[in-house]
Amino acid sequence: MEARPLDALNRSRDKKVLVELKNGRQYLGTLRAFDIHINVVLDDAEERHEGQVKRKIGTTFIRGDTIILISPAQ
């Protein structure tokens, strides 16, 4: 059980995660990297819309200040 949020995020490294953005978009991919600003890098990222894959965008850098939440992919 982690005391700090970034420790918890670290446990998701190299696992599939869902990243939800402030503009409503969702990205599914393997969490390769993150930093204290919550900038993240996803491998094999897919943009999702209402559960459907909208497009595949490969290794993607997402700027932290656009992110609402990061949860395990389901």
Residues at the interface with a copy of itself (CB under 8 A): 1-9, 12, 14, 18, 21-23, 27, 32-35, 38-41, 45, 57-72, 74
**Residue whose CB is less far from a copy of itself, 53 or 59:** 59
- Closest approach of Cβ 4 to a copy of itself, in Å? 5
- Closest approach of Cβ 24 to a copy of itself, in Å? 8
- Closest approach of Cβ 52 to a copy of itself, in Å? 16
Per DSSP, the residues of 11-59 read HTTTSEEEEEETTS-EEEEEEEEE-TT--EEEEEEEEEETTEEEEEEEE
- In angstroms, the CA 70 to CA 33 distance is 13
